[in-house]
Structure 1
Amino acid sequence: MLSSGASRQYFNLVARASKNGIKTTNLNSVAFYSTRSPTNFFQQDELPANTVIRFVPQQTAWVVERMGKFHRILDPGLAVLIPFIDKIQYVQSLKEAAIEVPSQSAITSDNVTLEMDGVLYVKVEDAYKASYGVEDAEYAISQLAQTTMRSEIGQLTLDHVLRERQALNANITTVLNDAAADWGIKCLRYEIKDIHPPENVLEAMHRQVSAERSKRAEILDSEGHRQSAINIAEGERASKILASEAVKAQSINEASGESEAILLKAKATAEGIKAVAKAINDTPGGKDAVALQVAEHYVEAFGKLAKESNTVVVPAALNDLGSLISSGLGIYGQVNKTVNKSVEASSKVDKKIE
């Protein structure tokens, strides 16, 4: 007598078995069905019996033999069989299935031993080849995946294995498809699950990562100091340039001011000379007065030279006062000519401007 929980489990198993075309005449057959490994994709269920009329489930192919020889493949749907002559010999699922590849050791090209496992995704493409092309398809494809993975890893270094996992998966899938074509099986993809390097290699990798991080930190620190020094130097350079430009501008402004002052002074002197010359020319007896004043200053200058210095300048005709006055008047005449020329030139310029 079964308990309520066991009864539910029993009826669930019966329903699952009936759905897959398995006869459940007793508890033992149900127990056989329930102990099926879900990962054993190619292990056949209990073969359906020939009841003349059968319904083939979707995504399933039944291989029928007639008198021990292959006869045909039943597609999903209604099928009619001849009793005692036809026999459903193989049941192939056309669904995609995942096969676990056991963990194994592989040696890289740089002599590092790795422990690796994976998952292989396959699908039956040809039910005839899958039934008659290989005795145990799951075992064969699993062994082929292991040997192919060892062969591919032996061509790569540890760094390439860790970095190019996708390329390694693609290469393994290509090799498996070439070999499994005669078995009617297509390998859709292969995925490496875990890679376990030795402990000493893991420690070396950790040290390498730490060293790389320390190196990057030192580089960033030095780059920061370098950039700081560059910024300080550029700031000092800009400051010196601005200071020199300020000195330059100051010098230019001072020179401009001095030149303007000299020009204004020269203009004032010229205007004064011009006014004096005009007053001399326009005033009756002005030239005689100027001549007398020049002679007086001339005589006075000689008198001062004798008082202010031990060096005495003695004119050639010191005893001849008339000659001395004549020299002063001669100087006046030369000055007068120069003034007249300046007045004439100034008058011409004024006329051109007008």
Structure 2
Amino acid sequence: MEIISSFLILLILFVVLIIKLGVKIVSQADIYIIERLGRFHRVLDGGFHIIIPFFDSVRAKLSVREGLVDISRQQVITKDNVNIMVDGIVFLKVFDGRMAVYNVEDYKKAISNLAMTTLRSAIGEMSLDSTLSSRDQLNAKLQMALGDAANNWGVKIMRVEISEISVPHDIEEAMNMQMKAEREKRAIELNAQANKEALIRNAEALKQEQVLQAEAIERMADARKYEQIALAQGQKAAMEAINEAALSSHAGLEFLLANERVKAFGELAKNTSNDKILVPYETAELIGSLSVFKEFLSPKKAKNKESAEQGEI
């Protein structure tokens, strides 16, 4: 009985070992590289799988999620002989587990070393200003260079980011001074441009103002012209009406003359000057009659004087 019990226990342990070695549950984010008797057999992706124990073995376990590889901080010399410190990050993803395991010993280390070499070469062809201002171009150039080599390793380079570029302290001070000078220059240019535009706009405004004034004067002259024409036409019509009324009746004409006299006396009454004499209408007629009588007597007086002179002769 003891032998049977021990055999059963060993059998159960053996079955458990077989199940443990033969059953593989792979995570969705991982892949298993399976070898059979030392050679590549297949790739297990996410899910439940069964392999043959002692014949099949897991050669490598890889993650198919997007990973990253650090580009170690290193000293690089630019085209204009400036020493700078550069580091970055490479984002990658395994798309072929077999190539990633059998085509390179350590694809992450290989990509890191290749990134450092490519970075030195790329920055060596660029000046300091281009390196600092053209990070996007540098990233694209690194991604293209790394992508060609990484495709042979079953890895896809998603993107490359240069995280930091450090320059020496004296170079940084010189760059700050240069930047300050450029900003002051730009401020002066912008100020001059603004003054120029202001002068142009003021000149245009003055020109527009003069044009508007000329148009206003022209319109006022036209208005006065039309007013005088209308007034002349009104006076002409009034004179024609007065003439027609005078021909038909003298009472209307006498009324107009009396009305004008009243207006004239009213204006004289408003004047505060003491050097004025108001003469009644009847007195004016009497003075007029005396003037006529004087003119009538003047010829007779001249005739008598002439006769006297002839008698003396």
Report the TM range for the smaller structure's normalisation: 0.5 to 0.7
Q: Secondary structure at the match of 2:142?
A: helix
Q: Secondary structure at the match of 1:52?
A: helix
Q: Distance in 2 between matches of 1:121 and 1:91?
A: 19
Return the offset for 1:140: 1.4
| Residue pair 2:26, 2:32 contacting (<8 A) in 1 also | no
| 2:198 counterpart (200, 224, 228) | 224
Q: Distance in 2 between matches of 1:248 and 1:61?
A: 97
| 1:57 counterpart (26, 36, 61) | 26
1:134 aligns with: 104
Q: Secondary structure at the match of 1:82?
A: coil
**Any residues of structure 2 matched to 1:54-133 within 5 Å, and which?**
54-58=23-27, 59-76=29-46, 77-83=48-54, 86-106=56-76, 114-133=84-103
Q: 1:147 to 1:255 in 2, by over 3 A?
A: farther
Q: 1:201 to 1:114 in 2, by over 3 A?
A: farther
Q: Deviations over 1:148-204 (max 9, x none)?
A: 334444555666555554444334323222111111111111122233454123432
1:253 aligns with: 227
Return the offset for 1:97: 0.7
1:46 aligns with: none
2:255 aligns with: none
Corresponding position: 1:194 with 2:164: yes
Q: 1:113 to 1:229 in 2, by over 3 A?
A: farther
Q: 1:208 to 1:130 in 2, by over 3 A?
A: same
Amino acid corresponding to residue 162 of structure 2 in structure 1: I
Q: 1:177 to 1:232 in 2, by over 3 A?
A: same
Q: Deviations over 1:247-293 (max 9, x none)?
A: 3422443355346646876x589979x99xxxxxxxxxxxxxxxxxx
Amino acid corresponding to residue 55 of structure 1 in structure 2: K
**Any residues of structure 2 matched to 1:136-175 within 5 Å, and which?**
136-153=106-123, 161-162=131-132, 164-175=134-145
Q: Distance in 1 between matches of 2:152 and 2:89?
A: 21
Q: Secondary structure at the match of 1:119?
A: strand
Corresponding position: 1:211 with 2:185: yes
| 2:155 counterpart (181, 185, 191) | 185
2:209 aligns with: 235
Structure having the larger proportion of residues in helix: 2
Is there any run of 5+ residues in structure 2 with no aligned partner, and where?
1-18, 249-313
Q: Could you tell which deviates more after superposition, 138-147 or 62-71? A: 62-71
Q: What stretches of structure 1 move > 6 A for 4+ residues in a row?
A: 268-272
2:146 aligns with: 176
Q: Deviations over 1:75-102 (max 9, x none)?
A: 343343433x544332222221122222
The share of aligned pairs that are identical, in percent, is 28
1:313 aligns with: none
| Residue pair 2:78, 2:126 contacting (<8 A) in 1 also | yes
Q: Distance in 1 between matches of 2:31 and 2:79?
A: 44
| Residue pair 1:123, 1:186 contacting (<8 A) in 2 also | yes
Amino acid corresponding to residue 21 of structure 2 in structure 1: V
Amino acid corresponding to residue 82 of structure 1 in structure 2: P
Amino acid corresponding to residue 246 of structure 1 in structure 2: M
Amino acid corresponding to residue 209 of structure 2 in structure 1: G
- TM-score normalised to the size of structure 1? 0.51
- TM-score normalised to the size of structure 2? 0.57
Is there any run of 5+ residues in structure 1 with no aligned partner, and where?
1-49, 276-354
Return the offset for 1:232: 3.8
